[in-house]
Chain A
Amino acid sequence: MAKKVLLAEDEKNVILGVRTCLDAVGYDVEIVEDGDEALNSVRREHPDLILLDLLMPKVDGYEVLKELKGNDVTKDIPIIVLTAKAEEEDRQRAMDLGAEDYMTKPFKPQELWDLLKQYLHEHSD
Protein backbone atom coordinates (compact mmCIF):
# COMPACT_ATOMS: atom_id res chain seq x y z
CA MET A 1 0.00 0.00 0.00
CA ALA A 2 1.23 3.48 -0.84
CA LYS A 3 2.68 5.43 2.08
CA LYS A 4 0.60 8.36 3.22
CA VAL A 5 2.41 11.72 3.24
CA LEU A 6 0.86 14.89 4.61
CA LEU A 7 2.08 18.12 3.01
CA ALA A 8 1.37 21.22 5.11
CA GLU A 9 2.18 24.19 2.87
CA ASP A 10 0.32 27.40 2.04
CA GLU A 11 1.99 28.39 -1.24
CA LYS A 12 -0.08 27.11 -4.17
CA ASN A 13 2.85 26.81 -6.58
CA VAL A 14 5.02 24.98 -4.10
CA ILE A 15 2.10 22.62 -3.42
CA LEU A 16 1.87 21.88 -7.14
CA GLY A 17 5.62 21.26 -7.38
CA VAL A 18 5.91 19.05 -4.31
CA ARG A 19 2.69 17.18 -5.07
CA THR A 20 3.91 16.42 -8.61
CA CYS A 21 7.19 15.28 -7.16
CA LEU A 22 5.50 12.92 -4.68
CA ASP A 23 2.88 11.64 -7.14
CA ALA A 24 5.69 10.69 -9.52
CA VAL A 25 7.07 8.17 -7.06
CA GLY A 26 3.72 6.85 -5.93
CA TYR A 27 3.06 8.37 -2.50
CA ASP A 28 -0.48 8.98 -1.34
CA VAL A 29 -0.45 12.76 -0.74
CA GLU A 30 -2.80 14.74 1.45
CA ILE A 31 -2.55 18.55 1.30
CA VAL A 32 -3.40 21.07 4.01
CA GLU A 33 -2.82 24.80 3.79
CA ASP A 34 -2.57 25.92 7.42
CA GLY A 35 -1.35 24.61 10.74
CA ASP A 36 -4.81 24.11 12.18
CA GLU A 37 -5.84 21.88 9.29
CA ALA A 38 -2.53 20.04 9.61
CA LEU A 39 -3.29 19.10 13.23
CA ASN A 40 -6.82 17.97 12.35
CA SER A 41 -5.60 15.95 9.40
CA VAL A 42 -2.93 14.16 11.46
CA ARG A 43 -5.49 13.16 14.10
CA ARG A 44 -7.86 11.95 11.41
CA GLU A 45 -5.53 10.31 8.87
CA HIS A 46 -2.49 9.40 10.91
CA PRO A 47 -0.03 9.83 7.99
CA ASP A 48 3.28 7.93 7.69
CA LEU A 49 5.25 11.17 7.35
CA ILE A 50 4.65 14.93 7.45
CA LEU A 51 6.30 17.58 5.24
CA LEU A 52 5.85 20.79 7.20
CA ASP A 53 6.27 24.42 6.20
CA LEU A 54 7.08 26.78 9.08
CA LEU A 55 5.34 29.96 8.01
CA MET A 56 1.67 29.12 7.70
CA PRO A 57 -1.59 30.87 8.59
CA LYS A 58 -3.52 30.26 11.82
CA VAL A 59 -1.07 27.92 13.56
CA ASP A 60 2.56 28.09 12.44
CA GLY A 61 4.87 25.14 11.85
CA TYR A 62 6.61 25.47 15.20
CA GLU A 63 3.28 25.15 17.02
CA VAL A 64 2.37 22.13 14.90
CA LEU A 65 5.68 20.52 15.79
CA LYS A 66 5.18 21.23 19.48
CA GLU A 67 1.67 19.78 19.48
CA LEU A 68 2.48 16.65 17.50
CA LYS A 69 5.79 15.85 19.18
CA GLY A 70 4.26 16.44 22.61
CA ASN A 71 1.48 13.95 22.02
CA ASP A 72 2.06 10.22 22.58
CA VAL A 73 -0.21 9.26 19.70
CA THR A 74 1.55 11.40 17.09
CA LYS A 75 5.10 11.83 18.41
CA ASP A 76 6.54 8.99 16.34
CA ILE A 77 5.36 10.30 12.97
CA PRO A 78 8.49 11.62 11.23
CA ILE A 79 8.30 15.34 10.43
CA ILE A 80 10.52 16.92 7.78
CA VAL A 81 10.49 20.69 7.79
CA LEU A 82 10.48 22.26 4.30
CA THR A 83 11.08 25.97 4.66
CA ALA A 84 12.53 29.15 3.19
CA LYS A 85 13.87 30.02 6.64
CA ALA A 86 17.57 29.39 6.24
CA GLU A 87 18.85 30.84 9.50
CA GLU A 88 20.66 28.47 11.82
CA GLU A 89 18.51 29.49 14.79
CA ASP A 90 15.33 28.52 12.90
CA ARG A 91 16.77 25.11 12.13
CA GLN A 92 17.88 24.66 15.73
CA ARG A 93 14.45 25.66 17.06
CA ALA A 94 12.69 23.17 14.78
CA MET A 95 15.13 20.37 15.64
CA ASP A 96 14.79 21.15 19.36
CA LEU A 97 11.03 20.79 18.99
CA GLY A 98 11.58 17.30 17.64
CA ALA A 99 11.66 17.61 13.83
CA GLU A 100 13.41 14.62 12.24
CA ASP A 101 14.99 16.73 9.49
CA TYR A 102 15.11 20.22 8.08
CA MET A 103 15.39 21.05 4.39
CA THR A 104 15.81 24.60 3.17
CA LYS A 105 14.04 25.76 0.01
CA PRO A 106 14.90 25.57 -2.81
CA PHE A 107 15.63 21.84 -3.08
CA LYS A 108 15.76 19.29 -5.88
CA PRO A 109 13.25 16.44 -6.21
CA GLN A 110 16.02 13.89 -5.65
CA GLU A 111 16.90 15.45 -2.30
CA LEU A 112 13.26 15.22 -1.22
CA TRP A 113 12.91 11.61 -2.42
CA ASP A 114 16.10 10.63 -0.57
CA LEU A 115 14.79 12.09 2.69
CA LEU A 116 11.40 10.42 2.29
CA LYS A 117 13.05 7.06 1.65
CA GLN A 118 15.27 7.50 4.67
CA TYR A 119 12.44 8.30 7.09
CA LEU A 120 9.94 5.88 5.62
CA HIS A 121 12.62 3.17 5.81
CA GLU A 122 12.39 2.35 2.15
CA HIS A 123 15.41 0.90 0.41
CA SER A 124 16.55 2.58 -2.76
CA ASP A 125 16.47 0.40 -5.83
Chain B
Amino acid sequence: MNNLPAPVNLHTITDNLAEAVFLVDRNKAVAWLNKKAGELFNTSTDAAQGANIIEITNVKKLDSLLDDVFEQEAELNCSYEEAAVKVKSSDQRYFFKISINPVFYDQKLWGGLVQFTDVTRFHEMEKIKTDFVSIVSHEFRTPLTTIIVGVEMLKEGMLGDLTPRGKEVLEAIGADCERLSRLIDNLMELSRIESGTIYVEAEPTDVVDLVQEAVRPLKFQAEKQGIELITDMPPNLPPVAADFNKAVWVLTNLVGNAMRYTDPGGTITVRIRQRGKRLFFSVEDTGCGIPKEDQSKIFRKYVQVSGADHKGTGGVGLGLAIAKDIVMAHGGEIWVDSEVGKGTTFTFTFPVFYAQESVSLPEADHEGG
Protein backbone atom coordinates (compact mmCIF):
# COMPACT_ATOMS: atom_id res chain seq x y z
CA MET B 1 0.00 0.00 0.00
CA ASN B 2 2.83 2.40 0.83
CA ASN B 3 4.05 2.26 -2.76
CA LEU B 4 0.86 3.72 -4.15
CA PRO B 5 1.10 7.24 -5.62
CA ALA B 6 -0.36 10.12 -3.58
CA PRO B 7 -3.61 10.58 -5.58
CA VAL B 8 -4.72 7.13 -4.51
CA ASN B 9 -6.95 8.08 -1.64
CA LEU B 10 -10.63 7.93 -0.86
CA HIS B 11 -11.33 11.56 -1.83
CA THR B 12 -9.71 11.34 -5.22
CA ILE B 13 -11.73 8.28 -6.01
CA THR B 14 -15.12 9.44 -4.74
CA ASP B 15 -14.69 12.93 -6.27
CA ASN B 16 -14.08 11.42 -9.67
CA LEU B 17 -16.91 8.92 -9.74
CA ALA B 18 -19.44 9.36 -12.53
CA GLU B 19 -22.19 8.26 -10.13
CA ALA B 20 -23.77 10.45 -7.50
CA VAL B 21 -23.29 8.65 -4.17
CA PHE B 22 -24.98 9.24 -0.79
CA LEU B 23 -24.34 7.48 2.48
CA VAL B 24 -27.45 7.53 4.66
CA ASP B 25 -28.19 6.12 8.11
CA ARG B 26 -31.15 3.97 9.19
CA ASN B 27 -33.30 7.10 9.48
CA LYS B 28 -32.51 8.01 5.87
CA ALA B 29 -30.51 11.02 7.04
CA VAL B 30 -27.55 11.95 4.84
CA ALA B 31 -24.18 11.26 6.48
CA TRP B 32 -22.00 11.94 3.47
CA LEU B 33 -22.22 12.58 -0.27
CA ASN B 34 -19.68 12.74 -3.07
CA LYS B 35 -18.84 15.64 -5.40
CA LYS B 36 -21.10 14.43 -8.22
CA ALA B 37 -24.07 14.17 -5.84
CA GLY B 38 -23.37 17.74 -4.68
CA GLU B 39 -23.29 19.04 -8.25
CA LEU B 40 -26.38 17.16 -9.34
CA PHE B 41 -28.55 18.04 -6.36
CA ASN B 42 -27.01 21.48 -5.75
CA THR B 43 -25.79 20.70 -2.25
CA SER B 44 -22.73 19.57 -0.24
CA THR B 45 -21.98 17.21 2.65
CA ASP B 46 -21.93 20.17 5.06
CA ALA B 47 -25.27 21.49 3.87
CA ALA B 48 -27.00 18.13 3.57
CA GLN B 49 -25.66 16.31 6.61
CA GLY B 50 -28.47 15.17 8.87
CA ALA B 51 -31.18 16.06 6.37
CA ASN B 52 -33.47 13.42 4.94
CA ILE B 53 -32.25 12.15 1.56
CA ILE B 54 -35.74 12.47 0.06
CA GLU B 55 -35.78 16.20 0.85
CA ILE B 56 -32.33 16.65 -0.65
CA THR B 57 -32.95 14.69 -3.84
CA ASN B 58 -36.71 15.09 -4.19
CA VAL B 59 -36.87 11.42 -5.22
CA LYS B 60 -39.93 10.26 -3.30
CA LYS B 61 -39.54 6.70 -4.43
CA LEU B 62 -36.33 6.43 -2.37
CA ASP B 63 -38.45 6.20 0.76
CA SER B 64 -39.94 2.82 -0.11
CA LEU B 65 -36.76 1.60 -1.80
CA LEU B 66 -34.73 2.25 1.37
CA ASP B 67 -37.44 0.62 3.48
CA ASP B 68 -37.16 -2.48 1.29
CA VAL B 69 -33.38 -2.62 1.58
CA PHE B 70 -33.39 -2.08 5.34
CA GLU B 71 -36.05 -4.69 5.78
CA GLN B 72 -34.41 -7.33 3.64
CA GLU B 73 -30.82 -6.22 4.25
CA ALA B 74 -30.22 -6.94 0.60
CA GLU B 75 -28.85 -4.99 -2.32
CA LEU B 76 -31.55 -3.45 -4.46
CA ASN B 77 -31.33 -2.27 -8.02
CA CYS B 78 -34.07 -0.11 -9.35
CA SER B 79 -34.36 0.19 -13.09
CA TYR B 80 -34.31 3.63 -14.63
CA GLU B 81 -37.95 3.65 -15.69
CA GLU B 82 -39.04 3.28 -12.14
CA ALA B 83 -36.75 6.01 -10.98
CA ALA B 84 -37.34 8.79 -13.48
CA VAL B 85 -36.17 11.79 -11.53
CA LYS B 86 -36.49 15.48 -12.16
CA VAL B 87 -33.60 17.18 -10.46
CA LYS B 88 -34.67 20.30 -8.61
CA SER B 89 -31.54 22.32 -9.38
CA SER B 90 -32.41 22.68 -13.05
CA ASP B 91 -35.37 22.38 -15.37
CA GLN B 92 -33.84 19.44 -17.16
CA ARG B 93 -35.36 16.06 -16.64
CA TYR B 94 -32.89 13.32 -15.80
CA PHE B 95 -33.37 9.60 -15.67
CA PHE B 96 -31.45 7.64 -13.09
CA LYS B 97 -30.82 4.07 -12.31
CA ILE B 98 -30.76 3.83 -8.55
CA SER B 99 -28.81 1.17 -6.68
CA ILE B 100 -28.87 0.81 -2.94
CA ASN B 101 -26.50 -1.34 -0.90
CA PRO B 102 -27.02 -1.95 2.81
CA VAL B 103 -24.11 -0.73 4.95
CA PHE B 104 -23.15 -2.70 8.05
CA TYR B 105 -21.21 -1.43 11.07
CA ASP B 106 -20.24 -3.63 13.97
CA GLN B 107 -22.08 -6.46 12.23
CA LYS B 108 -25.33 -4.53 12.45
CA LEU B 109 -27.23 -2.78 9.69
CA TRP B 110 -26.25 0.87 9.94
CA GLY B 111 -27.67 2.45 6.79
CA GLY B 112 -27.35 2.40 3.03
CA LEU B 113 -25.15 3.54 0.17
CA VAL B 114 -27.37 5.10 -2.49
CA GLN B 115 -25.96 5.47 -6.00
CA PHE B 116 -27.54 7.39 -8.87
CA THR B 117 -26.33 6.45 -12.34
CA ASP B 118 -27.37 8.92 -15.02
CA VAL B 119 -29.13 6.98 -17.81
CA THR B 120 -30.79 10.01 -19.41
CA ARG B 121 -28.94 9.55 -22.68
CA PHE B 122 -29.89 5.89 -22.85
CA HIS B 123 -33.49 6.75 -22.16
CA GLU B 124 -33.45 9.42 -24.88
CA MET B 125 -31.96 7.00 -27.39
CA GLU B 126 -34.73 4.49 -26.65
CA LYS B 127 -37.31 7.20 -27.18
CA ILE B 128 -35.69 8.29 -30.46
CA LYS B 129 -35.67 4.68 -31.65
CA THR B 130 -39.32 4.17 -30.78
CA ASP B 131 -40.36 7.45 -32.42
CA PHE B 132 -38.27 6.67 -35.48
CA VAL B 133 -39.90 3.29 -35.96
CA SER B 134 -43.30 4.87 -35.61
CA ILE B 135 -42.54 7.66 -38.13
CA VAL B 136 -40.94 5.31 -40.65
CA SER B 137 -43.83 2.88 -40.60
CA HIS B 138 -46.23 5.78 -40.98
CA GLU B 139 -44.31 7.23 -43.93
CA PHE B 140 -44.26 3.87 -45.73
CA ARG B 141 -48.02 3.62 -45.86
CA THR B 142 -48.71 6.37 -48.37
CA PRO B 143 -46.41 5.18 -51.20
CA LEU B 144 -47.52 1.61 -50.58
CA THR B 145 -51.10 2.67 -51.24
CA THR B 146 -50.25 3.78 -54.77
CA ILE B 147 -48.32 0.57 -55.43
CA ILE B 148 -50.95 -1.80 -54.05
CA VAL B 149 -53.89 -0.08 -55.75
CA GLY B 150 -51.98 -0.04 -59.06
CA VAL B 151 -50.85 -3.65 -58.83
CA GLU B 152 -54.31 -4.92 -57.94
CA MET B 153 -55.95 -3.09 -60.82
CA LEU B 154 -53.33 -4.29 -63.28
CA LYS B 155 -53.75 -7.85 -61.98
CA GLU B 156 -57.51 -7.66 -62.49
CA GLY B 157 -56.90 -6.57 -66.09
CA MET B 158 -58.69 -3.27 -65.47
CA LEU B 159 -55.89 -1.28 -67.05
CA GLY B 160 -55.32 -3.41 -70.13
CA ASP B 161 -54.08 -6.86 -71.04
CA LEU B 162 -50.91 -8.38 -69.65
CA THR B 163 -48.62 -11.12 -70.91
CA PRO B 164 -48.45 -14.29 -68.76
CA ARG B 165 -44.96 -13.23 -67.64
CA GLY B 166 -46.30 -9.76 -66.82
CA LYS B 167 -49.00 -11.33 -64.64
CA GLU B 168 -46.43 -13.47 -62.88
CA VAL B 169 -44.25 -10.45 -62.11
CA LEU B 170 -47.28 -8.55 -60.82
CA GLU B 171 -48.21 -11.46 -58.53
CA ALA B 172 -44.70 -11.30 -57.09
CA ILE B 173 -44.92 -7.52 -56.60
CA GLY B 174 -48.31 -7.97 -54.95
CA ALA B 175 -46.95 -10.65 -52.59
CA ASP B 176 -44.00 -8.47 -51.61
CA CYS B 177 -46.30 -5.51 -51.01
CA GLU B 178 -48.24 -7.71 -48.60
CA ARG B 179 -44.98 -8.54 -46.90
CA LEU B 180 -44.09 -4.86 -46.56
CA SER B 181 -47.54 -4.06 -45.19
CA ARG B 182 -47.17 -6.81 -42.63
CA LEU B 183 -43.75 -5.53 -41.64
CA ILE B 184 -45.10 -2.01 -41.17
CA ASP B 185 -47.95 -3.28 -39.01
CA ASN B 186 -45.48 -5.28 -36.93
CA LEU B 187 -43.12 -2.35 -36.47
CA MET B 188 -46.01 -0.13 -35.41
CA GLU B 189 -47.22 -2.74 -32.95
CA LEU B 190 -43.73 -3.09 -31.54
CA SER B 191 -43.18 0.63 -31.14
CA ARG B 192 -46.53 0.84 -29.35
CA ILE B 193 -45.50 -1.94 -27.00
CA GLU B 194 -42.06 -0.42 -26.40
CA SER B 195 -43.40 3.05 -25.74
CA GLY B 196 -45.73 1.53 -23.20
CA THR B 197 -48.82 2.85 -24.92
CA ILE B 198 -50.28 -0.59 -25.49
CA TYR B 199 -52.51 -2.22 -22.98
CA VAL B 200 -54.72 -5.21 -23.27
CA GLU B 201 -58.38 -4.95 -22.51
CA ALA B 202 -59.29 -8.46 -21.48
CA GLU B 203 -62.95 -9.17 -22.14
CA PRO B 204 -64.91 -12.42 -22.37
CA THR B 205 -63.95 -13.65 -25.83
CA ASP B 206 -65.61 -16.47 -27.71
CA VAL B 207 -62.94 -18.93 -28.82
CA VAL B 208 -64.74 -20.06 -31.99
CA ASP B 209 -65.05 -16.41 -33.13
CA LEU B 210 -61.42 -15.82 -32.29
CA VAL B 211 -60.16 -18.83 -34.25
CA GLN B 212 -62.39 -18.14 -37.24
CA GLU B 213 -61.32 -14.52 -37.43
CA ALA B 214 -57.65 -15.51 -37.19
CA VAL B 215 -57.75 -18.32 -39.74
CA ARG B 216 -60.15 -16.83 -42.31
CA PRO B 217 -57.69 -14.48 -44.08
CA LEU B 218 -55.17 -17.33 -44.48
CA LYS B 219 -57.46 -20.04 -45.82
CA PHE B 220 -57.23 -18.94 -49.44
CA GLN B 221 -53.45 -18.65 -49.28
CA ALA B 222 -53.15 -22.11 -47.67
CA GLU B 223 -55.28 -23.62 -50.42
CA LYS B 224 -53.13 -21.95 -53.04
CA GLN B 225 -49.99 -23.35 -51.39
CA GLY B 226 -51.51 -26.84 -51.21
CA ILE B 227 -51.46 -26.85 -47.40
CA GLU B 228 -54.31 -28.32 -45.38
CA LEU B 229 -55.44 -25.97 -42.63
CA ILE B 230 -57.36 -27.79 -39.89
CA THR B 231 -59.01 -26.45 -36.75
CA ASP B 232 -59.55 -28.89 -33.92
CA MET B 233 -61.48 -27.79 -30.86
CA PRO B 234 -63.95 -29.52 -28.58
CA PRO B 235 -67.48 -28.09 -28.32
CA ASN B 236 -68.55 -25.85 -25.44
CA LEU B 237 -65.21 -24.24 -24.71
CA PRO B 238 -65.53 -21.44 -22.17
CA PRO B 239 -64.70 -17.86 -23.21
CA VAL B 240 -61.17 -16.61 -22.58
CA ALA B 241 -60.22 -13.32 -20.94
CA ALA B 242 -58.60 -11.72 -23.96
CA ASP B 243 -58.32 -8.60 -26.04
CA PHE B 244 -60.04 -9.92 -29.18
CA ASN B 245 -57.97 -8.07 -31.82
CA LYS B 246 -54.65 -8.77 -30.16
CA ALA B 247 -55.47 -12.43 -29.59
CA VAL B 248 -56.45 -12.74 -33.26
CA TRP B 249 -53.18 -11.05 -34.19
CA VAL B 250 -51.17 -13.65 -32.26
CA LEU B 251 -52.97 -16.62 -33.78
CA THR B 252 -52.88 -15.23 -37.34
CA ASN B 253 -49.20 -14.56 -36.95
CA LEU B 254 -48.43 -18.09 -35.77
CA VAL B 255 -50.46 -19.69 -38.58
CA GLY B 256 -48.86 -17.33 -41.13
CA ASN B 257 -45.43 -18.35 -39.81
CA ALA B 258 -46.28 -22.02 -40.06
CA MET B 259 -47.35 -21.51 -43.68
CA ARG B 260 -43.98 -20.06 -44.57
CA TYR B 261 -42.22 -23.19 -43.32
CA THR B 262 -44.62 -25.84 -44.58
CA ASP B 263 -44.28 -27.43 -48.00
CA PRO B 264 -47.19 -28.25 -50.33
CA GLY B 265 -48.97 -31.38 -49.14
CA GLY B 266 -48.28 -30.45 -45.51
CA THR B 267 -50.78 -29.81 -42.73
CA ILE B 268 -51.26 -27.04 -40.20
CA THR B 269 -53.50 -27.78 -37.24
CA VAL B 270 -54.90 -25.13 -34.92
CA ARG B 271 -55.83 -27.00 -31.76
CA ILE B 272 -57.55 -25.65 -28.65
CA ARG B 273 -57.73 -27.53 -25.38
CA GLN B 274 -58.82 -26.60 -21.88
CA ARG B 275 -56.70 -27.53 -18.88
CA GLY B 276 -57.92 -26.18 -15.58
CA LYS B 277 -58.37 -22.45 -15.74
CA ARG B 278 -56.47 -22.03 -18.98
CA LEU B 279 -57.05 -22.63 -22.66
CA PHE B 280 -54.09 -23.93 -24.66
CA PHE B 281 -53.93 -22.72 -28.27
CA SER B 282 -51.47 -24.64 -30.38
CA VAL B 283 -50.44 -24.24 -34.00
CA GLU B 284 -48.86 -27.42 -35.25
CA ASP B 285 -47.18 -27.73 -38.64
CA THR B 286 -45.54 -30.52 -40.58
CA GLY B 287 -42.75 -28.22 -41.75
CA CYS B 288 -39.00 -28.58 -41.56
CA GLY B 289 -38.70 -27.90 -37.83
CA ILE B 290 -36.45 -25.51 -35.90
CA PRO B 291 -33.00 -26.66 -34.77
CA LYS B 292 -32.69 -27.02 -31.00
CA GLU B 293 -30.05 -24.27 -30.68
CA ASP B 294 -32.38 -21.74 -32.32
CA GLN B 295 -35.48 -22.54 -30.30
CA SER B 296 -34.45 -20.47 -27.29
CA LYS B 297 -33.88 -17.27 -29.26
CA ILE B 298 -36.86 -17.15 -31.60
CA PHE B 299 -38.92 -14.97 -29.27
CA ARG B 300 -36.26 -12.26 -29.16
CA LYS B 301 -36.70 -9.10 -31.20
CA TYR B 302 -35.02 -8.85 -34.59
CA VAL B 303 -33.83 -12.44 -34.39
CA GLN B 304 -34.35 -14.25 -37.67
CA VAL B 305 -34.10 -17.99 -37.62
CA SER B 306 -34.23 -19.95 -40.82
CA GLY B 307 -35.87 -23.34 -40.60
CA ALA B 308 -33.91 -26.58 -40.57
CA ASP B 309 -34.04 -26.57 -44.37
CA HIS B 310 -32.67 -22.98 -44.48
CA LYS B 311 -35.78 -21.66 -46.14
CA GLY B 312 -36.15 -17.88 -46.05
CA THR B 313 -38.48 -16.52 -43.41
CA GLY B 314 -39.94 -13.51 -45.19
CA GLY B 315 -39.91 -11.62 -41.93
CA VAL B 316 -37.64 -9.49 -39.81
CA GLY B 317 -37.98 -11.36 -36.56
CA LEU B 318 -40.65 -9.25 -34.91
CA GLY B 319 -43.80 -11.34 -35.10
CA LEU B 320 -42.91 -13.81 -32.37
CA ALA B 321 -41.46 -11.11 -30.12
CA ILE B 322 -44.71 -9.16 -30.34
CA ALA B 323 -46.77 -12.33 -29.91
CA LYS B 324 -44.88 -13.05 -26.71
CA ASP B 325 -45.45 -9.50 -25.39
CA ILE B 326 -49.17 -9.76 -26.12
CA VAL B 327 -49.59 -13.22 -24.58
CA MET B 328 -47.66 -12.22 -21.46
CA ALA B 329 -49.70 -9.02 -21.12
CA HIS B 330 -52.73 -11.35 -20.82
CA GLY B 331 -51.02 -13.32 -18.06
CA GLY B 332 -50.41 -16.20 -20.46
CA GLU B 333 -47.37 -18.05 -21.68
CA ILE B 334 -45.99 -19.01 -25.08
CA TRP B 335 -43.44 -21.63 -26.06
CA VAL B 336 -42.29 -23.82 -28.91
CA ASP B 337 -41.77 -27.56 -29.37
CA SER B 338 -40.01 -28.62 -32.50
CA GLU B 339 -38.22 -31.53 -34.04
CA VAL B 340 -36.13 -31.14 -37.17
CA GLY B 341 -37.75 -32.94 -40.09
CA LYS B 342 -41.04 -33.53 -38.26
CA GLY B 343 -42.50 -30.13 -37.60
CA THR B 344 -43.09 -27.38 -35.07
CA THR B 345 -45.78 -26.64 -32.52
CA PHE B 346 -46.22 -23.20 -31.01
CA THR B 347 -48.45 -23.13 -27.95
CA PHE B 348 -49.81 -20.20 -25.98
CA THR B 349 -52.25 -19.95 -23.14
CA PHE B 350 -55.00 -17.53 -22.25
CA PRO B 351 -56.88 -17.55 -18.96
CA VAL B 352 -60.50 -18.71 -18.98
CA PHE B 353 -62.91 -15.86 -18.31
CA TYR B 354 -64.96 -16.20 -15.16
CA ALA B 355 -67.84 -13.84 -14.56
CA GLN B 356 -67.02 -13.44 -10.88
CA GLU B 357 -63.31 -12.73 -11.27
CA SER B 358 -62.52 -10.24 -14.00
CA VAL B 359 -59.36 -12.06 -15.05
CA SER B 360 -58.28 -15.45 -13.82
CA LEU B 361 -54.52 -15.58 -13.62
CA PRO B 362 -52.81 -18.72 -14.87
CA GLU B 363 -51.59 -21.39 -12.52
CA ALA B 364 -47.99 -22.46 -12.38
CA ASP B 365 -48.45 -25.79 -14.13
CA HIS B 366 -46.40 -25.05 -17.22
CA GLU B 367 -47.01 -27.48 -20.02
CA GLY B 368 -44.14 -26.66 -22.33
CA GLY B 369 -40.84 -28.36 -22.95
Contacts and interface: CB of A to CB of B under 8 A. Distances in A.
B188 A106 contact: no
Nearest to B143: A13
A86 B145 CA distance: 13
Contacts of A17: 145-146, 149-150
A18 B149 CA distance: 7
Interface in B316-348: none
Given A85-B138, A86-B188, A106-B181, A20 B144 contact: no
A14 to B, nearest CB: 5
B138 to A, nearest CB: 5
B153 interface: yes
Nearest to B158: A24
A110 to B, nearest CB: 7
B187 to A, nearest CB: 11
Interface in A104-119: 104-110, 112
A2 interface: no
Nearest to B148: A106
For A16, A24, A107, A112, the residue with the greatest tally of chain B CB atoms inside 10 Å of its CB is: A107
B263 interface: no
A21 interface: yes
B139 interface: yes
Contacts of A24: 153, 158
Given A24-B158, A84-B138, A86-B188, A105 B144 contact: yes
Interface string B182-206: 0001001000100000000000000
A76 interface: no
Contacts of A11: 142, 146
A20 B153 contact: yes
B152 A104 contact: no
Nearest to A82: B145
A18 B146 CA distance: 8
Contact of A84 (B141, B177, B185, B192): B141
A19 B93 CA distance: 49
A105 B153 contact: no
B159 interface: yes
B148 A13 contact: no
Contact of A105 (B145, B150, B159): B145
Contacts of A16: 146
Interface in A1-37: 11, 13-14, 16-18, 20-21, 24
B159 A20 contact: yes
A85 B152 CA distance: 22
Nearest to A11: B142
Contacts of A109: 149, 152-153, 156
A24 B142 CA distance: 21
B149 to A, nearest CB: 4
Given A109-B149, A109-B153, A84 B142 contact: yes
B189 to A, nearest CB: 10
B138 A106 contact: no
A41 to B, nearest CB: 22
Contact of B145 (A14, A20, A87, A110): A14
Contacts of B177: 106
Given A106-B148, A106-B181, A21 B142 contact: no
Given A17-B149, A17-B150, A108-B149, A84 B158 contact: no
Nearest to A86: B188
B282 to A, nearest CB: 29
Contacts of B142: 11, 14, 84, 105
12 contacts: A18-B145, A20-B159, A24-B153, A84-B139, A86-B137, A86-B138, A106-B144, A107-B149, A108-B152, A109-B149, A109-B153, A109-B156
Interface of B: 137-139, 141-150, 152-153, 156, 158-159, 177, 181, 185, 188, 192
Given A17-B150, A106-B177, 11 more contacts: A13-B146, A14-B145, A14-B146, A24-B158, A86-B185, A86-B188, A105-B141, A105-B142, A106-B149, A107-B145, A107-B149
